[in-house]
């Protein structure tokens, strides 16, 4: 049985993968992700997830390596992780009262036998209309600087989220339904 490695620094991805019941290790890929806001978000997350998985798989050729990357997409642009508090505020203002799409790319690699699987998952999020007081209250409760789009759907959603469609865990950062299907196909029972 292959050793499973998650190629991600995200604590949310670790929690979600653990919920599926897999034993796994975490190895953070030392790569520079492509984050050009005008890039097609499906292409960006597919590229970044593959980059992470391939970097780790090259160092652990016998292991089954899972890479993932998530971004928020609105107005033809990707909203990646905010640079600072001002950037997070600007992102929340932009999302206010609107619907956006969350894309996650999944990449599984095993170098020993050339296994290569790539999939993408999309979900939609409707934001409530946010006033400045709500934005400040949200940012006071949630550290958003390590989260695409400057928010976390799982932290105080009552302040910002009106509705979601599709995989909720995709919006968090790892669509567990698709992940489980891929890992089962790779012969890894949960």
* 145, part of any domain: yes
Q: Based on the structure, what is the number of domains in the chain?
A: 1
**Residue length of the chain:** 190
Predicted TM-score (pTM) of the model is 0.92
Whether 93 is in a domain gets the answer yes
Q: Does 190 score more than 80 pLDDT?
A: no
159-172 pLDDT per residue, tens: 999 999 999 999 99
d(CA 53, CA 178): 16
Catalytic residue among 25, 40, 69, 84: 69
Each residue of 36-66: pLDDT tens digit?
878 899 999 999 999 999 999 999 999 999 9
Is 131 designated active site? no
Distance between CA atoms of residues 154 and 104, nearest Å? 16
Q: Over the stretch 74-133, which tens digit does the pLDDT of each residue have?
A: 999 999 899 999 999 999 999 999 999 999 999 999 999 999 999 999 999 999 999 999
Domain containing residue 82: 4-185
Q: What tokens appear for 23 in the block?
A: 């034993």
Greater model confidence, 33 or 136: 136
Q: Which CATH number do you get for residue 56?
A: 3.90.950.10
Beta bridge partners of 73: 78, 101
Return all residues near 12 (Cβ < 8 A) that are at least 6 apart: 152, 154, 172, 173, 174
> Residue 165: inside a domain, yes or no?
yes
Q: Is residue 190 part of a domain?
A: no
């Amino acid at each position: 049985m292959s050793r499973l490695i998650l190629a991600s620094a995200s604590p949310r991805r670790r929690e979600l993968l653990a919920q599926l019941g897999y034993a796994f290790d975490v190895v953070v890929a030392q790569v520079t992700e492509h984050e050009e806001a005008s890039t097609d978000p499906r292409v960006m997350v597919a590229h970044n997830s593959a980059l992470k998985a391939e970097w780790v798989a090259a160092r652990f050729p016998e292991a089954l390596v899972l890479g993932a990357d998530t971004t928020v997409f609105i107005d033809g642009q990707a909203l990646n992780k905010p640079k600072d508090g001002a950037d997070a505020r600007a992102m929340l203002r932009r999302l206010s009262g609107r619907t956006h799409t969350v894309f996650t790319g999944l990449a599984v690699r095993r170098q020993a036998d050339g296994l290569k699987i790539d999939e993408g998952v999309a979900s939609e999020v409707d934001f409530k209309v946010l006033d400045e007081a709500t934005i400040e209250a949200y940012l006071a409760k949630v550290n958003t600087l390590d989260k695409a789009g400057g928010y976390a759907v799982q932290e105080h959603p009552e302040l910002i989220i009106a509705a979601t469609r599709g995989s909720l865990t995709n919006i968090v950062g790892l669509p567990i339904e698709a992940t489980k299907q891929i890992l089962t196909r790779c012969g890894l029972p949960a």
